[in-house]
Amino acid sequence: MSHQALSPAEAALRDAALHYHREPKRGKISVTPIKPLSNQIDLSLAYSPGVAYPCLDIQKDPAKAVEYTARGNLVGVITNGTAVLGLGDIGPLAGKPVMEGKGCLFKKFAGIDVFDIELAERDPDKLVDIIAALEPTLGGVNLEDIKAPECFLIERKLRERMNIPVFHDDQHGTAIISSAALLNALELVGKNIWDVEVAVSGAGAAAIACLDVMVALGVQPQHVHACDSKGLIYQGRAAGYDESKARYAHPDTGARTLADVVKGADVFLGCSTGGVLTQDMVKTMADKPVILALANPRPEITPEDAKAARPDCIIATGRSDHPNQVNNVLCFPYIFRGALDCGATKITEEMKLACVREIAALAKVETVAEVAAAYAGQKLSFGPDYIIPTPFDPRLILRIAPAVARAAAQSGVATRPIADLQAYRASLEHYVYQTGMVMRPVYASAKAAPDAVKRVAYAEGEDERVLGAAQIAVDDRLARPILIGRPAVIEQRIAKAGLRIRLGRDVENVDPDNDPRFRQYWETYHRLMARNGLTAETAKAAVRRSNTTIGALMVRLGDADALLCGTHGRFDQHLDHIRDIIGIEPGAPGYATINAIMMPERTLFVTDTYVNEDPGADLLAAIAKMAADEVRNFGVPPKVAFVSHSNFGSSKRASALKVRRARDLFCEQMPGVQCDGEMHGDDALSATLRAQAVPDSTLEGEANLLVCPNLDAANILFNVLKLTVSNGVTVGPILLGTAAPAHVLTRSATVRRLINMTALAVAEAAARGVKMRE
């Protein structure tokens, strides 16, 4: 990527990325205190004089640093900026956004804190000295974007000097994921890893690391034929080669080019440049070839070209828009999670191989309902297009971290071996569903949805927030927006906001004052409402003046796949239009709403926040059932708490008895879902408090779905959380029970919430595949 002229899509991405990094706070990470500091007593404990006591304890026993400080959960993401992504040698300061981004992934996927450290030092020995001196601060080191061959020397020397895990992700992360892909691909094509011939394009840090792991798994070194920018690496090559490549240099056979070594190869490994593997080369490969084309952003060959040349091939790339993405996020958060938790002093080959095997095994395990729901419309079963798990499979941390901890103990590098791995695995569930990554599977599902179900009608098409959301939806290919509103007003506001979308080109426009479908719409509305006192003239007027009515009719008649409304006006008014026109899903008890708030430490869903004022026990149980099903659509197993002023029978008031009865009914209807109640809100989030009240709770850990006794309780709870929780992201209201996707937002909706709801509506439309055309 350079400063050359950008395409419109690239310019849009640039503008969105710059805004993301600048607003509302600069950068992507911060240091946040985790202990109270609200009075003189807190101050005396956090600092002088109380802080002296943990200092003295650590002086006597350095292992106590894990108990008293954040070091045991702190990784340094360290670079000198000499090989940053596809940008090259841009220097440490320019590389800082990448390191902050890596820190976000560590935190979001595995709960690991990060200091990003950018060092203005190019001399490898001096760099080693600086990083090694940071050992008292850090629990682990993730080397990032350091160019080859220096990265090999730096990592090797740091591993020798430091007694904490050191991991160069550019090498080993790619190696672990690609090796897992290789194992599964070879299983599918029926080839033995000991027999395969491997042709390699690229011999930098990532390629050599990949080969080392593959050899450890069984690939024979003499079967590896590696090419760098100067051609095939062979003994005595006039152009020479550095020490890191020597172990894959073989006697001269006369072969010189990539085309020479690809011929007859079973496996192609690419860590080089886009487009270097041609279709003609692929045609010369052995039967059922395995292609790992990992160059980014453009792979060595695209899946389409590879499949066209060899329909029998299995291909993986580094891109998220193709099946079988080799993505390092499948690995690095979880290998560090396991290493930190067992106090590993090194990341050994055994730990890496354990990670490989767990990733490979997970792809062959039956997809859980939550993952399938989150990736609706995508085939997630072991096969040529699914040889490695999706990056957002919540089971990754539950499998990889314990396997890594076990391997560390077996390797003799665990200073705190984990005796009860089953209990450890259960404790890791805390990191799985309680992070800001909950929306990611929804976005993945929306992006993968066919265009035929991506038509989202926005009732308030003139709203600046809606226009901003429509721009992002177009740029990210999340949806095909339909803006309902006056075209002149929309165009004027698009220009004022500096947006690039154009009516008729990027987005559809429905003008309430001039649309050729007006007669069809008002006649349909009249037919639906004639027995409710609606005359033909009133129907005409309603279709002219109510954008929500138009949007609902579009969904009803198949002109749109989903409706978003509610950024202006009263919630109940919008809901009435949806009820009258779209109707209730067959089998649903009626409508209800659920809101989600994604906080740094947990994600909570709250129901019913907007519809049912005081539901009886039967309806409350039915609402909980619809809400639990919706939680599953986020890839999250629902854990339900029926909350009340009463705590397990402490009150006999009617509302307490109602909630208790609703819980009993829900348990009968959904026996496979964890739930309990009636209980206080704090008991819902604390297993310790719950155990003090009842010894046999049917809910484990924290609840993630709070079912409130009435609308007031649910609405107040959600809105207070929304405003008081720092960095919380909200989704909703999500309208449950509709016959087709339709959601009523609120006046406080932001562009971000509109985008979240757009993705959710498209994912819902894809999962339903509902067409309502009469």
Instruction: Give 305-329 as a DSSP string.
Output: HHHHH-TT-EEEES-TTSSSB--GG
What is the arithmetic mean of pLDDT over 505-512?
A: 91
What is the arithmetic mean of pLDDT over 626-631?
A: 92
Position 84 scores a pLDDT of 86
CA distance to 329, 613, 708, per residue, from 619 (Å): 42, 11, 12
Element (H, E) at 118: strand 113-118
Per-residue pLDDT tens digits for 739-748: 999 999 988 8
Q: Which amino acid is at 272?
A: S
Q: How far apart are CA 301 and CA 440, in angstroms?
A: 27
Position 6 scores a pLDDT of 74
What is the residue-wise DSSP string for 472-509? Answer: HHHHTT--EEEEES-HHHHHHHHHHHT----BTTTBEE
Confidence class of residue 282 from pLDDT cuts 50, 70 and 90? Answer: very high
CA end-to-end span of the chain: 50
Element (H, E) at 140: strand 140-143
For residue 367, pLDDT beyond 80: no
Tokens in use for 203? 């011999």
Q: Are the C-beta atoms of residues 424 and 375 closer than 8 Å to each other?
A: no
* Selected residue with higher pLDDT from 381 and 406: 406
Q: How far apart are CA 148 and CA 206, in angstroms?
A: 9
Tokens in use for 308? 């066209």
- Under DSSP, the state recorded for 6 is P
For residue 727, pLDDT beyond 80: no
Position 774 scores a pLDDT of 45
Q: How far apart are CA 393 and CA 66, in angstroms?
A: 30
What's the full length of the chain, in residues? Answer: 774
Position 86 scores a pLDDT of 67
Backbone angles phi, psi at 588, to 5 degrees: -80, 150
Q: Are the C-beta atoms of residues 645 and 453 closer than 8 Å to each other?
A: no
Position 370 scores a pLDDT of 53
Per-residue pLDDT tens digits for 181-224: 999 999 999 999 999 999 999 888 789 999 999 999 999 999 99
Q: Is 102 a catalytic residue?
A: yes
For residue 368, pLDDT beyond 80: no
For residue 719, pLDDT beyond 80: yes
Position 734 scores a pLDDT of 94
Position 221 scores a pLDDT of 94
Q: How far apart are CA 643 and CA 680, in angstroms?
A: 6
For residue 177, pLDDT beyond 90: yes
What is the arithmetic mean of pLDDT over 288-315?
A: 93
Confidence class of residue 261 from pLDDT cuts 50, 70 and 90? Answer: very high
Tokens in use for 610? 């907007």
For residue 672, pLDDT beyond 70: yes
Tokens 């419309």 — which residue? Answer: 377
* Selected residue with higher pLDDT from 237 and 394: 237
Among candidate residues 300, 244, 246, 247, the one with its CA nearest the CA of residue 272: 300
Backbone angles phi, psi at 699, to 5 degrees: -125, 130
Position 304 scores a pLDDT of 94
SS (H, E, C) 162-212: CCCCEEEHHHHHHHHHHHHHHHHHHHHHCCCCCCCCEEEECCCHHHHHHHH
Q: How far apart are CA 362 and CA 356, in angstroms?
A: 10
CA distance to 340, 359, 398, 418, 428, per residue, from 423 (Å): 16, 21, 11, 9, 9
Position 172 scores a pLDDT of 92
Among candidate residues 248, 76, 86, 104, the one with its CA nearest the CA of residue 168: 76
Backbone angles phi, psi at 418, to 5 degrees: -90, 110
Per-residue pLDDT tens digits for 563-622: 999 999 999 999 999 999 999 999 999 999 999 888 767 789 999 999 999 999 999 999
C-alpha 387, offset from chain centre: 19
Confidence class of residue 705 from pLDDT cuts 50, 70 and 90? Answer: very high
Among candidate residues 86, 50, 138, the one with its CA nearest the CA of residue 345: 138
Among candidate residues 740, 720, 435, 515, the one with its CA nearest the CA of residue 606: 720
Confidence class of residue 725 from pLDDT cuts 50, 70 and 90? Answer: low
Position 332 scores a pLDDT of 93
Element (H, E) at 363: helix 349-364
Q: Are the C-beta atoms of residues 670 and 625 closer than 8 Å to each other?
A: yes
Q: How far apart are CA 721 and CA 765, in angstroms?
A: 29
A 10 A CB-CB count for 695 gives 7
Confidence class of residue 4 from pLDDT cuts 50, 70 and 90? Answer: low
Confidence class of residue 736 from pLDDT cuts 50, 70 and 90? Answer: very high
Per-residue pLDDT tens digits for 33-75: 778 777 888 888 888 898 899 999 999 999 999 999 999 999 9
Alpha-carbon torsion, ordered 455, 457, 461, 464, to 10 deg: -70
For the entire predicted model, the pTM comes to 0.66
Element (H, E) at 571: helix 571-581
pLDDT over 70 for what percent of the chain? Answer: 95
Instruction: Give the Cα-Cα-Cα angle 636, 706, 757 (nearest 5 degrees).
Output: 55
Q: How far apart are CA 454 and CA 560, in angstroms?
A: 8
Confidence class of residue 371 from pLDDT cuts 50, 70 and 90? Answer: low
What is the arithmetic mean of pLDDT over 84-93?
A: 86
Tokens in use for 378? 């995508």
Say which residues have a Cβ less than 8 Å from residue 675's Cβ, sequence separation at least 6: 624, 639, 640, 641, 642, 663, 666, 667, 698, 699
Tokens 């406080």 — which residue? Answer: 748
Q: Are the C-beta atoms of residues 570 and 757 closer than 8 Å to each other?
A: no
Position 435 scores a pLDDT of 43
CA distance to 167, 475, 499, 502, 591, per residue, from 470 (Å): 41, 9, 10, 11, 27
Q: Are the C-beta atoms of residues 525 and 578 closer than 8 Å to each other?
A: no
For residue 369, pLDDT beyond 70: no
Q: How far apart are CA 584 and CA 556, in angstroms?
A: 12
Q: How far apart are CA 309 and CA 63, in angstroms?
A: 58
Q: Are the C-beta atoms of residues 151 and 143 closer than 8 Å to each other?
A: yes
Per-residue pLDDT tens digits for 432-481: 644 446 677 787 788 888 888 899 999 999 998 899 889 888 887 889 99
Confidence class of residue 402 from pLDDT cuts 50, 70 and 90? Answer: very high
Backbone angles phi, psi at 179, to 5 degrees: -70, -35
Q: How far apart are CA 765 and CA 774, in angstroms?
A: 18
* Selected residue with higher pLDDT from 738 and 5: 738
- Among 20, 25, 47, 53, the active-site one is 47
Tokens in use for 518? 């007006």
- Over the chain, what is the mean pLDDT? 89
Position 434 scores a pLDDT of 44
A 10 A CB-CB count for 32 gives 9
Position 432 scores a pLDDT of 62
Instruction: Give the Cα-Cα-Cα angle 452, 740, 524 (nearest 5 degrees).
Output: 95
* Selected residue with higher pLDDT from 78 and 749: 78
Q: How far apart are CA 277 and CA 262, in angstroms?
A: 9
Q: How far apart are CA 491 and CA 538, in angstroms?
A: 30
For residue 773, pLDDT beyond 70: no
Q: Is 386 a catalytic residue?
A: no
- Indicate the range of 301-310, 403-412, 514-523 predicted with least confidence: 514-523
Q: How far apart are CA 331 and CA 325, in angstroms?
A: 13
- Under DSSP, the state recorded for 614 is S
275: left (phi over 0), alpha (psi -120 to 50) or beta: left
Position 355 scores a pLDDT of 96
Q: How far apart are CA 243 and CA 235, in angstroms?
A: 12
Q: Are the C-beta atoms of residues 77 and 102 closer than 8 Å to each other?
A: yes
Per-residue pLDDT tens digits for 468-494: 889 888 887 889 999 999 999 999 988
Environment class of 720 (CB within 10 Å of its CB; exposed 0-12, middle 13-18, buried 19+) = exposed
